[in-house]
C-alpha cells in the first residue's frame, strides 16, 4: 500500500546567502502492507512528523520516492495530489482539526462536498458514519460542545467518510485522557480488523505503538529499529 524508497529531506532556514541546512530524514526505506497497522515511534525531533507530512504530500521530499496504491505521489502536482488525497487517504490529527464554526455533521460531510456528492447521498452517508462512531445524536453539536474523545471520533468519521484504504494518524491520542485513549485504540483496531483499513500512525506513546502489527523507530532521521509486535 505504501512504499518509501531512499527518502531524504532537509529544511533550509535563513535568507539567501546566509542559509542553514538542517537534515531531517536520511535515506529512509520501508513498506506498509495492505491491511496493516504500522506505528512509527521516536523522540521529539526524530523526524516522525516530517515523514508523515511527506507521505501525505503536504511537503515535497528532497530525494527519494513515495508510492501509494501504485501511484508515485512524490511526483504529483498540487492539483493531482489534492484529488489523490480525497480518494485514497484519511487523516487523524492530535488537535482534531475540526472547523469550529461547523457542526459535527458539517465537519464529517465536508469531504463529500469536495468530492461533489449529491445532497441526498451526503446526508445519508454522513448520518450513517456518525452512527458508526456513536455520535449521531450529537450531529448538531459544535466542536466546543463536545468532549475531547467525541471530537476525535468526529475527526475519525470525517477521515472514514470517503472510504479511504489508508489512514494517516499524527499522535491520535495526544489530546485524550487514558480512558478515552483506550477506547480510541480499540476503535482503530476494529476498523482495521472489520474494514481492512491500513494505518500509518506516528506516536511517542507506548500504548499506541503496541497496537501496530509492526513498528519502526526513528532517531536523528534514520531507522534504528524495525520489529514485529503482533
Residues 67, 175: Cα–Cα separation, whole Å: 30
Question: What is the reported pLDDT for 229?
Answer: 52
Residues 35, 44: Cα–Cα separation, whole Å: 28
Question: What is the reported pLDDT for 15?
Answer: 79
User: What rounded mean pLDDT belongs to the chain?
Assistant: 89
Q: Tell me: the pLDDT tens digits for 93-102?
A: 877 889 999 9
Question: What is the reported pLDDT for 100?
Answer: 94
| pLDDT > 90 in the chain, percent | 49
Q: Name the pLDDT band for 228 (thresholds 50, 70, 90).
A: low
Residues 155, 97: Cα–Cα separation, whole Å: 7
The helix or strand, by DSSP H or E, that contains position 223, with its residue range, turns out to be: strand 222-228
Q: Is 97 or 230 the better-scoring residue by pLDDT?
A: 97
CA-based torsion, 101, 107, 111, 117: positive or negative: negative
The helix or strand, by DSSP H or E, that contains position 225, with its residue range, turns out to be: strand 222-228
Residues 192, 198: Cα–Cα separation, whole Å: 7
Residues 111, 125: Cα–Cα separation, whole Å: 11
CB 175 within 8 A of CB 10: no
Q: Tell me: the pLDDT tens digits for 85-123?
A: 888 898 888 778 899 999 999 999 998 998 889 999 999
Average pLDDT over residues 13-19: 79
Residues 73, 170: Cα–Cα separation, whole Å: 19
pLDDT at 226 over 80: no
Instruction: Specify the CATH superfamily of domain 2-228.
Output: P-loop containing nucleotide triphosphate hydrolases (3.40.50.300)
| pLDDT > 70 in the chain, percent | 98
Residue 167: beta bridge partners? Answer: 90, 199
Q: Which of 166, 170, 203, 41 is nearest to 95 (CA)?
A: 170
Residues 5, 65: Cα–Cα separation, whole Å: 5
Residues 100, 80: Cα–Cα separation, whole Å: 28
Q: Tell me: the pLDDT tens digits for 116-156?
A: 899 999 999 999 999 988 899 999 999 999 988 899 889 88
What is this structure's pTM? 0.85
Average pLDDT over residues 16-42: 89
Average pLDDT over residues 179-203: 89
Question: What is the reported pLDDT for 92?
Answer: 84
- How many other CB atoms are found less than 10 A from the CB of residue 87? 13
Residues 113, 115: Cα–Cα separation, whole Å: 5
CB 196 within 8 A of CB 167: no
Question: What is the reported pLDDT for 107?
Answer: 95
Amino acid at each position: 500500500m505504501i512504499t518509501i524508497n531512499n527518502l531524504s529531506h532537509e529544511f533550509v532556514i535563513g535568507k539567501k546567502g546566509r542559509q542553514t541546512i538542517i537534515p531531517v530524514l536520511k535515506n529512509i526505506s520501508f513498506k506498509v502492507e495492505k491491511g496493516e497497522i504500522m506505528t512509527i515511534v521516536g523522540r521529539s525531533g526524530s523526524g516522525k512528523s516530517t515523514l508523515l507530512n511527506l507521505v501525505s504530500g503536504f511537503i515535497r521530499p528532497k530525494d527519494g520516492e513515495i508510492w501509494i496504491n501504485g501511484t508515485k505521489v512524490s511526483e504529483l502536482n498540487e492539483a493531482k495530489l489534492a484529488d489523490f488525497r480525497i480518494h485514497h487517504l484519511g487523516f487523524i490529527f492530535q488537535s482534531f482539526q475540526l472547523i469550529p464554526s461547523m457542526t459535527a455533521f458539517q465537519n464529517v460531510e465536508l469531504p463529500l462536498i469536495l468530492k461533489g456528492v449529491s445532497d441526498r447521498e451526503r446526508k445519508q452517508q454522513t448520518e450513517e458514519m456518525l452512527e458508526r462512531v456513536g455520535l449521531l445524536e450529537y450531529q448538531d453539536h459544535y466542536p466546543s460542545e463536545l468532549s475531547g474523545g467525541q471530537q476525535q471520533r468526529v475527526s475519525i468519521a470525517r477521515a472514514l467518510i470517503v472510504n479511504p484504504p489508508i489512514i494517516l494518524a499524527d499522535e491520535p491520542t495526544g489530546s485524550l485522557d487514558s480512558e478515552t485513549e483506550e477506547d480510541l485504540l480499540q476503535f482503530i483496531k476494529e476498523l482495521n480488523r472489520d474494514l481492512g483499513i491500513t494505518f500509518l500512525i506516528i506516536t511517542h506513546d507506548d500504548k499506541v505503538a503496541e497496537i501496530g502489527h509492526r513498528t519502526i523507530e526513528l532517531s536523528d532521521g534514520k531507522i534504528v529499529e524495525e520489529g514485529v509486535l503482533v
